């Protein structure tokens, strides 16, 4: 139980340090706002919607995960 408590405290400390760092650097809140809306050609959006809905992308992710376990959905 005591060990679990120490582990939890270590994680909380690491999170807090990261938040302080992010607040200083703005890494989690990009300061430069790009207000322009990029126009995505319909052909690109159609292709993307197709591969995301027909299972093509999911199969590719599975293949990559077998090739490289650090990129697998586990």
Binding site for another protein (CB under 8 A): 7-8, 10-11, 13-15, 17-19, 21-22, 27-30, 32-34, 37-38, 40-41, 43-45, 47-49, 51-53, 56-61, 63-64, 67, 69-74
* Residue 13 beta carbon to another protein: minimum distance, rounded to whole angstroms: 7
Q: How large is the angle between the packed helices 56-67 and 42-53, nearest 10 degrees?
A: 70
d(CA 45, CA 22): 33
d(CA 3, CA 52): 44
Nearer to another protein, 2 or 43 (CB): 43
* Residue 3 beta carbon to another protein: minimum distance, rounded to whole angstroms: 9
């Amino acid at each position: 139980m005591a060990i679990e408590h120490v582990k939890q405290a270590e994680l909380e400390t690491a999170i807090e340090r990261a938040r302080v760092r992010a607040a200083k650097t703005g890494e989690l809140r990009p300061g430069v706002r790009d207000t322009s809306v990029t126009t995505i050609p319909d052909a690109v959006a159609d292709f993307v919607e197709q591969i995301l809905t027909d299972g093509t992308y999911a199969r590719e992710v599975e293949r990559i995960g077998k090739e490289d376990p650090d990129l697998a959905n586990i």
